Structure formats: C-alpha cells, structure tokens
Amino acid sequence: MVNQTPRLMTPYIISTQSQKEVTHNMALNILDALVQTAVETATLVSPPMSPLVGGLWLVASVATGDWLGHDGKIAQYIGGAWQFHAPFEGLQVWLKDDEVTAQFRSGLWQTGIVTVQKLEVSGQQVVGPQQPAVGDAAAGAVIDVEARTALNNLLAACRNHGLIAS
C-alpha cells in the first residue's frame, strides 16, 4: 500500500493508525513549504544561527552542519528542527535575497532564467522566437556614416538581447 503522495511526498493517513493528527500536521507542513515557495537565500552552506520558525532556505552545494548531505534541497525550520524537501522537476521557488526565481530542471537549480514561447503585455506580443540574422549596414549609393552607425548600434542591441541571431 502506498503511504504518501507521489509528487510532494505528503503522508497519507492510514485507516488503522493512531494519532492521525500527527500525519495530518506533517502533510500540512510539507504543503506549507512547497506551495508558493519563497526561500530566504540559496547561498548558505550551513544553517543560519537564528532561523525563523517556518523559514525556508535552498541548501547550497557542499553543505555542512545540520544541512550535511542535503545539497539542493529545501530546508524548512519547523518545530525547532530542520525538515528537508527534495525538489522535483519543474519546482519553482522565489529567492527573496536576489528577487528572482529559481527552477529545478534536469536535476539542477537554474536561477534567474525564465523560459517562454512568447511574451505578451496587455495581449500584445512584444517578444517572440528569435528571428534570422540581419547583416550590418554597408556602403550604398549615398554615404551616411551617422545613419549607418545608428543602425548598426540598433542591430547590435537586438543581437545582444537575443531578438535576432548574430
């Protein structure tokens, strides 16, 4: 018999168990950590000296102390102890200190990367897939160095932003 949910690993209450409230409260703590998750930071390798009750941290690589062996997991300080939650593919958290998101993809946390098909503002597409390369302005019948320079600067900016290929 399966005794926990497959994705969040929250425990099921078994009909024959006593103290069902313990299992229920444990499941609520897991949900509290993993739903709309906002962590303090992803830079600590050891627990903070005075953690906030209910606080969350993303354990950095080569963790030490109470976090040893929990690299990449979400550490939750609750009930005077540390609980650790393994990330799953696609889990997204908000990093409070850096004010960016981190998403767990292919076994790693990717910070500050947002992947979309297109970007719309008020229903109007403002960014879509990258377009083909556009060559720099070159000599023509009339020489206009200032216009050519401005156009090349615009093209360079579009390339730097990934809007057109290099």
The pLDDT value recorded for residue 1 is 63
Beta bridge partners of 75: 57, 84
Q: For the segment 143-166, what is each residue's pLDDT rounded down to a tens digit?
A: 788 888 889 999 988 888 778 888
Question: Are the C-beta atoms of residues 135 and 156 closer than 8 Å to each other?
Answer: no
Q: 0.85 exceeded by the pTM? A: no
Question: Are the C-beta atoms of residues 84 and 135 closer than 8 Å to each other?
Answer: no
Domain boundaries, the chain: 36-111, 119-160
Question: Are the C-beta atoms of residues 29 and 83 closer than 8 Å to each other?
Answer: yes
d(CA 103, CA 110): 5
CA 88 to chain centre: 12
Q: For the segment 110-138, what is each residue's pLDDT rounded down to a tens digit?
A: 999 988 888 888 888 888 788 888 888 77
Write b or e for each residue in 20-48: b if 16 or more Cβ atoms lie within 10 A of its Cβ, otherwise e. Answer: eeebeebbebbeebbeebebbebebeebe
